[in-house]
Structure formats: C-alpha cells, structure tokens
Amino acid sequence: MFQHFTLFMAASWILIITPGPDMIYVITRGVSQGRGAGIISAVGVTLGILVHTVLASFGLAMVLMTSSIAFMIVKMAGAAYLVFLGIRSLRDRKGLILQNQTVRLSRRKLLVQGMLSNVLNPKVALFFLAFLPQFVSREAGHAAAQMLILGGLFAFFGVIFLVTLGYFSGRAGQWLSTKRSITRNLNRITGSVLIGLGLRLAFLEKQ
C-alpha cells in the first residue's frame, strides 16, 4: 500500500509540473490580466479536475464490480492511451507557447472558463480513467472512495502548483518560454513515466 502511494505521489507531481494545457491557460490569463486572474484560473482548472475525479471514480467502480471482460477492455484501452501519451510526449520538441488573450474576463467568468477548459477536455477524462485505478487497493475494498481520495490529492497538489504559477505567471511564462531545453527534458521524463504507467496497467490483474 505504501509503495502504491509513493508511486502515486511521484507520478502525480511529475505530471503536474510538466507544461500542458492547464499550465498554459493559467499563465496566459495571469500574463494578460494579472496575478489575481492567474490564481482564479488555477482554482477553476482544479475544480475541473475534481469533476473528472468524481466521474472516473464512480464509473470505474461499476466496471471493477462487473465482468472480467469489461475490466480487461477498460484496462487495455487505458494502458494503450497512456503509452500513446508517453510516446507523443517523448517526440514533442516544442517549448511553452503562450496563447494571445486580449479579452478581459470577470472573476466569475475566469473561474467558470478555467473549470470548463478542463471538464470539456475528453483527453483529461481518458487520462483519469487510466491513471487512478492503478493505485487502488482492491483488498481494501471501496474502490470508488479510494479513487475519490487519490483524485482529491491530485487536485490538491495541482492547485498548490497552479496557484503558485498563477501568482508568478509573468516571470514563469517568460522563463519557460526562453528555457525550451527545460520543457523538453520535462517532456522526456513525463513520457517515460506515462509509458511506464501504461505498461504497469497492462499487466495489472483483477483481484
């Protein structure tokens, strides 16, 4: 159990700090509207993560309690998706490219848009469906509750990082945009982690 949790912590932080859509969105809003907008956008994105956590937890809990065939289908699809993401990350040679945001939004709209940018991204939903089950202890039971806790921890780690990023969005955006070697190295590490998680999921047995 401890090994599962340690692996979850390490994988979560590596995935969180790797430049991606959430990071780009938060930095972009912070650069265009200031620190407050970056922080609110970070909170909105985190709310989206919590929505995906709830959907993945209860959806997968039902699958885990049904047939072995359903479990196998979900498992292999998730493993293939994680390996695909890993290979794509390893091949990514781009640095952090910020979007141009000229329209200023109210705090409420920033919060809602941040949440929707995450909730309406099907790739995030697929990721959580493949990521969370690997760290669930089937001996302990209550798979849905375990995934809710793990997803909540992932969201907690995410909001800490993204809020900090939003606060220092101006400097962070400028630094990451010029340090392309840093983002490429993070992509390589993340790609390796995702492939490893995919292979781990492929050999995970239903107990």
What single DSSP character describes residue 140?
T
Which of 10-14, 93-97, 197-201 is predicted least confidently?
Answer: 93-97
User: Is the pLDDT assigned to residue 128 strictly greater than 60?
Assistant: yes
For residue 45, which of 174, 183, 184, 160 has the smallest C-alpha distance?
160
More confident residue, 17 or 152: 152
pTM of the complete model: 0.75
Average pLDDT rounded to a whole number, residues 12-26: 83
Please state, rounded to an integer, the average pLDDT across all residues of the chain. Answer: 78
**In sequence order, what DSSP letters do the residues of 1-18 get, joined into one string?**
-HHHHHHHHHHHHHHHHS
Residue 117 lies in a domain: yes
Distance CA 90, CA 148 (A): 30
Which structure tokens are listed for 137? 């202890």
CB 26 within 8 A of CB 169: yes
**Whose structure tokens read 């292999």?**
76
For residue 17, which of 172, 207, 174 has the smallest C-alpha distance?
172
User: Is the pLDDT assigned to residue 40 strictly greater than 90?
Assistant: yes
More confident residue, 190 or 117: 117
Secondary structure of residue 173 in the 3-state scheme: helix
> What percent of the chain clears pLDDT 70, i.e. is strictly above it?
74
Distance CA 156, CA 150 (A): 10
Q: How confident is the model at residue 146 (pLDDT cuts 50, 70, 90)?
A: confident
Residue 198 lies in a domain: yes
User: Is the pLDDT assigned to residue 47 strictly greater than 90?
Assistant: yes
Residue 168 lies in a domain: yes
Q: Tell me how many domains the chain contains.
A: 1
Which structure tokens are listed for 25? 């969105």
Distance CA 120, CA 1 (A): 33
Residue 207 lies in a domain: no
Give the pLDDT confidence score for residue 67 in this predicted structure: 61
For residue 162, which of 117, 203, 100, 101 has the smallest C-alpha distance?
117
Residue-number span of the structural domain to which 52 is assigned: 2-202
